Amino acid sequence: MTAVLHLDNVTRVHGEGATRVAALRGVSFTARPGELVAVMGPSGSGKSTLLNLAGGLDTPTSGSVLIEGVDLSGLDVAGRARVRRTSVGYVFQDYNLIPALTAAENVALPRELDGDSRKEAREKAMIALERVGIAEVADRFPDEMSGGQQQRVAIARSVVGERRLILADEPTGALDTETGEEVLRVLRDFCDAGAAGVLVTHEARHAGWADRVVFLRDGLVVDEAAASGAYGDPLEQGAL
């Protein structure tokens, strides 16, 4: 099966001379359809750099990043932006919804950016909101929603349309335990439905929702293992 995301021997160096820091060093990484991969590691290990490279927000110093078989290094800024609109969705710890837009408009954002009419984009946004179970808050602004609702909107935004790669950076960091688990369940459901997911997290219990766990330290992949709670709800399987 073709990988949705494939990092091939990727190195990313920041700065020059004395300030030179290698955030990633020869990392190879794959996420396939239906697979949720957790990335764990201490601060400064290269987790966020990996996500930025995976979404085309940053470019590798060497190596290549392929999304659905397309090498991002061959694309310009606009080309990489197009890949983000059509193939990649981000979910952040702080939700990062645009305060001036309603929930539906936030979700519709990638589609409108891609040229869909407002009506078409809203229709697709409503489907995504229904999939995360909060269609009733579609016309609320972010400051009128709870944290859990906001994060579900963010997930809906990351999958709206036909996008098949979800990059989640500590998506439960600002949520209470119960709400966090609900959000991870939604993420898992999307992967089960055929999307590929990358979940950056500090917490082992959250990694339990993943199929595989990749451990990063000092920019290197130091270990890779099947998640302890693979293919099931870790709460039910006693992972905690």
**Contact call for residue 110 and another protein (CB under 8 A):** yes
Question: Binders of another protein among 61-80, rule CB under 8 A?
Answer: 77-78
**Contact call for residue 109 and another protein (CB under 8 A):** yes
Please give the single-letter amino acid code of residue 184. L
**Contact call for residue 19 and another protein (CB under 8 A):** no
**Contact call for residue 115 and another protein (CB under 8 A):** yes
Q: Binding pattern to another protein, positions 210-239, x when CB under 8 A?
A: ------------------------------
**Contact call for residue 113 and another protein (CB under 8 A):** yes
**Contact call for residue 157 and another protein (CB under 8 A):** yes
Quote the least distance from Cβ 219 to another protein, whole Å. Answer: 17
Interface residues with another protein (CB under 8 A) are 48, 52, 55, 57-58, 77-78, 81-86, 88, 90, 92, 94, 96-101, 105, 109-110, 112-115, 118, 157
